[in-house]
Structure 1
Amino acid sequence: MQTSKENREIVIVGAGVIGLTCGYQLALKGYKNVIIISKDFPTTGLRKAEYTSSKSGAHFRPFPSRNSDQYRDSRYTRSTYNYFKRLAVEHPESSVKFMKGIDYLEYPDPLYMKLGKGYHEGVDDFKLIPKKKLPRNVVFGATYKTWCMNSPVYLEFLQNELDMKYGYKFIFKNVPSLSIIAETYPHALIINATGMGLQYDGSYDPSCYQIRGQTLLVRPPLNNKYERCTVTYQMANGEWSFVIPRPLSGGVIIGGTKVVNGKNPNPDPVETKNLIENAKKRFPELLLGSKNEFEIRRVNVGFRPARRGGAKVKKSVVAGTTIIDCYGFAGSGMEMSWGAAEKVVSLLENDEAFQRSKL
């Protein structure tokens, strides 16, 4: 006889890091009847700007909260941070690896300098860098223990676990509305992990908007110091320059740009040139060959799904269908993924109507 968890039908719409992490947590909780539907998965979405998860650096970089929404979301990052300590040990093939993180600011920001709420709490080995040890033109610096990952490898790890270990069903399909899912699976609970917030009627959450990002994947020199640390510069002109190693021989990410409502899915040569110039000044150790240039293997373009008011992780009932929204994570999908999925599972397990319908 099947257990109640084997009978409960759940459909996850979206297979970026949020959808796959929700699926992984459901698998660990013993849920059997789970379907993941998406127009792209880790292998098919690698070169598509809309499938942003595979373009992620990816690392955890804490920052002070500028409002209550950011502070709420920071707690998702801490849950992920703590779980990844375990994942890095138990599943090194996931590519998650802990190492040193460094923040540099080239302009004074009171929230950083006063260690604003949500910045350092729950972060191991957090220390301020003495001013005399800061690089030229840097006015603030801090170090901490963080994690980095090879995002394409991590996404395939999640999908492989769900496929080969837990037997979850994957459907490649462009979903025009959540109502279509409700009609096809009339007794299912829907987890909406669509990034920009696909709605029941086929529209999108009007609070959502995309932030276009561009980074460079480079081949680093052997035994370079950035195999063991990730460094982020916030520049005086508002731009960013960072390096993020991708463990398991995945190269190094050099970034990055943030263009609100940027639509271009193709690499912008002007942005590429600017990224190179900024990084040459700050990370010359990554230059290669007699020409002293970066060996660029790929220019990544992704559309980060942001939302005014922060990420939405909330349960609702529409036309008799229970929907748990989990979207709008901007550039912090990897960082918030585990904590947000924990909230989704909690909402699901506390949904009395759903539980009654499947017992």
Structure 2
Amino acid sequence: MADVIVVGGGIIGLTAALRLRERGADVTVWTPAGPEQTVSAVAAAVWYPTRTGYDPRLLDWARATYDQFYRHAFERVPGVLIRETRNLERDGSTGEPWWAPAARGVRYLPIDRPWTREVRFRAPLVEMTAYLPWLRQQFVAAGGRVVRRRIDRLEEALVEAPTVVNATGLAAGALCGDPDVIPARGQIVRVANPGIIVSVRDQDEPSTYIHPRSRDVVLGGTWQENSWNTTPDPATRDAILQRCIALVPELAGAPIVGEEAGLRPVRRGGPRVEAEKWPGGTVVHAYGHGGAGMTLCWGCADEVAALAL
């Protein structure tokens, strides 16, 4: 019998599982699919608290996660890069963004209209198709277990462990009766990288982002709440390409190498990370991170481990 069962094998579940194992717990991860089939694998996975408001707890998580990925980059962990980033703002803000204390060397530059300010900083970027398998391997090498299993009720896990971490993303809405959990559809286009090394993010609606990875560039995006459609839309693809090329003309003519649509696990009111007593034991909820799962994962994992043990 495990000490803890983590239900969910995306970035939130795997980071929590590894932190729990590092603290000496006997941990099993239950996941219905491999890491390459999670929504985490579709994500652009760049450090930035997308559509997340200020909360001191989230700032702590963002800082811890930023620092952890910087260490990973220094250690040459597969898939982890650091990119200079340009945020092009349109709302006339003059103060420091709430997330800035978690990042390194944030600078503020003037810019021509229609933008009102350029915010520059260095941000971790993670190629999830390389990083998630590495993370899972680290967990298993540390003595953790991964079991392919789909569940219909969290009580199924409580039968086999006194503590369960609910890192089920969108499925948490049904599993624990949370009506605030909704999908936010995101569509991306991947093109061959013509030599771009700087990320760009435009604050306009819909937001536009350009994130260069080692071999391709992730272009986006969309934010369509309550849409469950995971089929890429050609018109949306064309609009993304048009907006991105307008921002970075070097992208013109870059061949498309892939396109995906995924569902961000949004929770109205923000992420739910708390321990709850159930008849069969303790459930530590860790879901609802929306588009900021990668940005908050390691700090969130530290809190999950503290709550669970």
Residue of structure 1 in register with 2:170 after alignment: 196
The Cα RMSD (Å) is: 2.0
Within-5 A mapping of 1:70-149: 70-90=55-75, 92-105=76-89, 107-109=90-92, 112-116=93-97, 118-129=98-109, 131=110, 134=111, 137-149=114-126
C-alpha separation between the residues in 2 aligned to 1:72 and 1:269?
39
The structure with the larger Rg is 1
Post-superposition Cα deviations, 1:243-268, rounded to whole Å, max 9, x if no partner, equal 11224x3x110111100111211001
C-alpha separation between the residues in 2 aligned to 1:122 and 1:270?
37
Within-5 A mapping of 1:47-62: 51-61=38-48
Q: Of 267, 271, 295, which residue of structure 1 is paired with 2:232?
A: 267
Q: Of 263, 284, 292, which residue of structure 2 is paired with 1:303?
A: 263
> Shift in Å at residue 114 of structure 1?
2.2
C-alpha separation between the residues in 1 aligned to 2:192 and 2:147?
35
Query: Is the contact made by 2:59 and 2:102 (CA closer than 8 Å) also made in structure 1?
Result: no
Query: Is the contact made by 1:64 and 1:115 (CA closer than 8 Å) also made in structure 2?
Result: no
Aligned length: 309
> CA distance change for structure 1 residues 64 and 210 in 2, over 3 Å: closer, same or farther?
closer
Structure 1 gaps of 5+ residues are 1-6, 46-50, 288-292, 350-359
Query: Is the contact made by 1:61 and 1:101 (CA closer than 8 Å) also made in structure 2?
Result: no
Residue of structure 1 in register with 2:206 after alignment: 239
Q: Helix, strand or coil for the counterpart of 2:208?
A: strand
Residue of structure 2 in register with 1:9 after alignment: 3
TM-score after normalising by structure 2: 0.93
Residue of structure 2 in register with 1:290 after alignment: none
Q: Helix, strand or coil for the counterpart of 2:105?
A: coil
C-alpha separation between the residues in 2 aligned to 1:10 and 1:239?
40
Give the letter aligned to residue 178 of structure 1: L
Residue of structure 1 in register with 2:13 after alignment: 19
Post-superposition Cα deviations, 1:29-76, rounded to whole Å, max 9, x if no partner, equal 233x21111112213x1xxxxx2100111111257974x5x4532321
Q: Helix, strand or coil for the counterpart of 2:114?
A: coil
Residue of structure 2 in register with 1:352 after alignment: none
> Shift in Å at residue 270 of structure 1?
1.4
C-alpha separation between the residues in 2 aligned to 1:64 and 1:268?
23
Q: Of 313, 337, 348, which residue of structure 1 is paired with 2:273?
A: 313
Q: Of 216, 221, 230, which residue of structure 1 is paired with 2:199?
A: 230
Structure with a larger share of its residues in strand: 2
Residue of structure 2 in register with 1:206 after alignment: 179
C-alpha separation between the residues in 2 aligned to 1:108 and 1:202?
38
Q: Of 261, 270, 280, which residue of structure 1 is paired with 2:245?
A: 280
C-alpha separation between the residues in 2 aligned to 1:261 and 1:23?
29
> Shift in Å at residue 136 of structure 1?
5.2
> CA distance change for structure 1 residues 72 and 202 in 2, over 3 Å: closer, same or farther?
closer
Q: Helix, strand or coil for the counterpart of 1:126?
A: strand
> Shift in Å at residue 294 of structure 1?
3.0
Residue of structure 1 in register with 2:303 after alignment: 343
Give the letter aligned to residue 82 of structure 1: D
C-alpha separation between the residues in 2 aligned to 1:161 and 1:303?
27
Give the letter aligned to residue 22 of structure 2: L
C-alpha separation between the residues in 2 aligned to 1:56 and 1:190?
26
Q: Helix, strand or coil for the counterpart of 1:180?
A: helix
> CA distance change for structure 1 residues 137 and 303 in 2, over 3 Å: closer, same or farther?
same
| Identity of matched residues, % | 25
> CA distance change for structure 1 residues 331 and 64 in 2, over 3 Å: closer, same or farther?
closer
Query: Is the contact made by 2:52 and 2:270 (CA closer than 8 Å) also made in structure 1?
Result: no
C-alpha separation between the residues in 2 aligned to 1:75 and 1:268?
37
Residue of structure 1 in register with 2:188 after alignment: 215
